[in-house]
Structure 1
Amino acid sequence: MLIQFFQIYSEYASCDFYAVGESYGGKYVSAIVNKIYIENHQAKLKNNLEGMAIGDDLVDAYNHADRIIWKVKEDDQDVAGYLKRAHSFFLAWVRNAGHSVPYEQPRVAFELIDRFISAS
């Protein structure tokens, strides 16, 4: 269908092409770009693929990950911070600390570094 579009509207065939999609469309965008990339070198009508943009639910695991309460010890009354996880990426927020976490929250900073080193 894309080839037909550029055959009918040939004035657009030389323009840069960006594939864009969101939500479930993100699945289609990556498939279309992959097909263009693989087949473009031997195609009669070349596609000027410049890039792609994908966003939303099915491709943005981090923004849809739950924020988990983090405590240094499970029986602590105080919340040390929060964790978010998307696949193998973790983000930790330390409560009541600015840019100087080890100075402002030494116990929490030690636990955070210890968990990072021991990968737990």
Structure 2
Amino acid sequence: MILKVVKQRVEAAYEKDLVQMILEGAKNSADNSALLHKNFIVDNCKTLFFAGHDTTALATSWALTLLAAHPDWQARACAEVLEICRDKPLDADMLRSMKVVCHYASCQC
């Protein structure tokens, strides 16, 4: 699946992002073996995916633990989300307008 995304990226227009930096790193490696290039790309993508997953999971666990320990804040956050989102999916603009959920959680919105 990772190599399919990489193939699409190689065929698409140039975009300076993390995937592009990994592709450039694979091109600039000393070894010219196609297999090693593929392994380099896949291994780096897996590392970033799992690192991001663990970080997000840990932050979410702590947030839920703190909300469970402080029901007053949990009620305030819930009321704010219901008021702002209503029946719509959360988007970046909604998140920016949240004072309890975002700003008091030290979020850099």
Give me the TM-score of the superposition, normalised by structure 1: 0.27
Give me the TM-score of the superposition, normalised by structure 2: 0.29
Pick the structure with more strand per residue: 1
**Taking CA–CA contacts closer than 8 Å with sequence separation of 6 or more, which of the two structures ends up with the larger relative contact order?**
1
Structure 1 or 2, whichever has the larger Rg, is 1
Pick the structure with more helix per residue: 2
